[in-house]
A and B are shown apart, each in its own frame.
Chain A
Amino acid sequence: MRALLATARGAALEAAADRRALASQALAMAVNDGVWIVFWVLFFDRAGDLRGWDLDGIILLQAVLTTSGGIALGLVANARRIGTLIVDGGLDPVLALPASPLGLLLLRRIEPVNLGDFAFGVTLFAVAGHPTPSRTLLFGAVVAASATLLTGFLVLTGSLAFFAGRGESGELGFHAMVLLGSYPVDVFAGTAKVLAYTVVPAAFVSTVPARVIMDFDSGQALLLLTAASTVALAAAAVFRAGLRRYTSGAVWTRA
């Protein structure tokens, strides 16, 4: 535990080392996210209703998505790089230390750019999400679940590199999650909708959390918690199993 905290502290110090770069990159990302809100404002100006979702609902959706995205990509930045790290032997440094490799790996790196996402999401909720005390509490809780699920998913898809030898699966998985998670799942038909709840569980990253905030339903909340813990546990298990097959970037295994 001390080890993990120390590592997280190190990552934070490193990220803060160049404060100007940190600020400008984070700002750029925040502006980036802001444009999506512009899109939705323009959209709802003409369209009015999206299968029961209105601008307020979409704003909650985006707030959860960007905040939890900011955590999964910004605070535990190595989650999305696990595939590459595995293939290039990047796990060696953490394996040489007497602590849990996955924990160390995840906490080791903070990506300033995505901290902008986090800041944006939190601000969006504060400004346009009608932050009553109960809603704020719910927001915190669902973001935690959503971020856990997203991180777990990234680790899971990235860990496939242990078995497949190539590292791109993580990136593809991540993009798929973000793309599908940017829209309320109710917009999709049939197979796409099923996909968004299972193989690429983007529904749990944004739609379900937003629903829980708007209209608290214990069934949905439980579903969210179950999904998040399942993915997280599966990720840890797959990673552990994969370590046995780690090749540490050995040249012969390059395709």
Chain B
Amino acid sequence: MAIEVRALTKTFTTGRRRTRRTVEAVRGISFSVEPGERLAYIGPNGAGKSTSIKILTGILHPTSGDATVLGIVPWEQRKRLAARIGTLFGQRSLLWAELSSRQSYRMLAAIYGLSRDEERARVGELGELLDAADLMDQPVRTLSLGQRMRCELAAFLLHRPEVLFLDEPTIGLDLLAKQRFRELLVRINEEQGTTVFLTSHDVADIEHVAERAIVINHGTVIHDAPVAAMRRTLLATKLIEVGLDDHAPIEVPALPGVTVVERTDLALRLVVDTTTTSVRTVLDALLTGTTTTDISVVDPPLEQVIAEIYERPAS
């Protein structure tokens, strides 16, 4: 078991005396992760994602509950764990801004106890893997965001971590850079068997990186399933978008499994649960007795599926 979490809870208290409030950032979370898995930990802002990952990397102490990463309790043996995992937090850099990446690697190698030979070999290897070899000698501050991300990744992977923890790593990157980043993560996982634990609120990260998704909201696990299964849920709903004729009134067919998502004078959007009612039935009902100018039937985006999952109470 690479990661094991049981009833993990973290409560924060706000500082002021009179307005003292307790916030349960994480409430009784439990899950386990096998070595080599690629897991996305998703939720809206404030759901408790960052808190969870910080507990697992030993930065925060939980209020109650247990967790082990690679058999080590993170907050009790932080240093021992730190040598075997990699942490990449979206807004915090591992590199020294004024120096070149290579100089930062030298420092990190010393910190992680790599010999000079090991360091040199590893940096070369990563330079090739990440296509960053020619970027490594420039001051980090002069690199573009995408270039810097590649150099950060090398720093992140320098000591051959067994588990990678990434907190919102693709924030601020352009589409191309995001794509490359995701491809690299998958490659690293496949080639080296590294466990990947990624938090994100970008659905594309789930679609392209994760095999499994844990959805959390308000500090608890809402949904924990393979991504493929979530896609199946997707196929069970369809979105029907109808353009209306301004002058004619429209009567929404009162069929089970049909929900009106949006309604204006000129448009109507319905979500159909195809396990209850078939799209054909709904279309037949719409086309007779109403004047429509346009109809389209689409798959709802994964975004919406996730959003819907967010709204559910804890399973």
Contact = CB atoms under 8 A, between A and B. Distances in A.
Direct contact of A and B (CB under 8 A): yes
Interface of A: 2-3, 5-7, 9-10, 13-14, 17-18, 91-93, 95-100, 104, 164-166, 244-248, 250-255
A31 B51 CA distance: 47
A100 B82 CA distance: 11
Interface stretch (B58-66, B222-230, B267-275): B58-66
A98 B111 contact: yes
Interface of B: 12-16, 21, 23, 25, 46, 50-51, 54, 57-61, 75, 78-83, 87, 89, 92-94, 96-99, 103-104, 106-113, 139
A97 B84 CA distance: 10
Contacts of B109: 6
Given A6-B106, A98-B80, A104-B111, 19 more contacts: A9-B107, A10-B99, A10-B103, A10-B107, A13-B96, A14-B96, A14-B97, A91-B59, A93-B94, A95-B78, A96-B59, A97-B112, A98-B81, A99-B111, A245-B61, A250-B25, A250-B51, A253-B13, A255-B14
B103 A13 contact: yes
Given A7-B107, A96-B59, A252 B99 contact: no
Contacts of A99: 79, 111
Contacts of A92: 54, 59, 89, 92
Residue of A10, A93, A254 ringed by the most chain B CB atoms within 10 A: A10
Contacts of B79: 98-100
Nearest to B106: A6
Contacts of B111: 2-3, 6-7, 97-99, 104
A255 B92 CA distance: 23
A95 B87 CA distance: 10
B104 A10 contact: yes
A165 B15 contact: yes
A102 B104 CA distance: 19
B58 A95 contact: yes
B103 A244 contact: no
Contacts of B60: 246-248
Contact of A17 (B59, B81, B89, B99): B99
Contacts of B104: 10
Nearest to B100: A13
Given A17-B139, A95-B59, A252-B25, A10 B96 contact: yes
A17 B138 CA distance: 12
Contact of B61 (A244, A251, A252, A254): A244
Contacts of A6: 106-107, 109-111
Contacts of B61: 244-246
B112 A255 contact: no
A17 B98 contact: yes
B113 A2 contact: yes
Residue of A96, A246, A248 ringed by the most chain B CB atoms within 10 A: A96
A139 B60 CA distance: 42
A252 B15 contact: no
20 contacts: A3-B110, A6-B111, A7-B111, A10-B103, A14-B98, A91-B59, A92-B89, A93-B93, A96-B57, A97-B112, A98-B82, A98-B112, A165-B15, A244-B61, A246-B61, A248-B50, A250-B25, A253-B12, A253-B13, A253-B15
- Ranked nearest first, the 5 interchain pairs of A and B with the lowest CB-CB distance are A165-B15, A6-B110, A98-B82, A3-B111, A98-B83
Residue of A2, A5, A95 ringed by the most chain B CB atoms within 10 A: A95
B118 to A, nearest CB: 13
A98 B82 CA distance: 5
A122 B176 CA distance: 54
Nearest to A2: B110
A164 B98 CA distance: 33
Nearest to B104: A10
Contacts of A96: 57, 59, 82, 87, 89, 94
B138 to A, nearest CB: 13
Given A17-B139, A97-B111, A98-B112, A166 B15 contact: yes
A245 B110 CA distance: 29
A5 B109 CA distance: 12
Residue of A2, A93, A250 ringed by the most chain B CB atoms within 10 A: A250
A90 to B, nearest CB: 9
A237 B75 CA distance: 17
Contacts of B82: 95-98
Contacts of A246: 59-61
Contacts of B93: 93
A126 B224 CA distance: 70
A92 B96 CA distance: 15
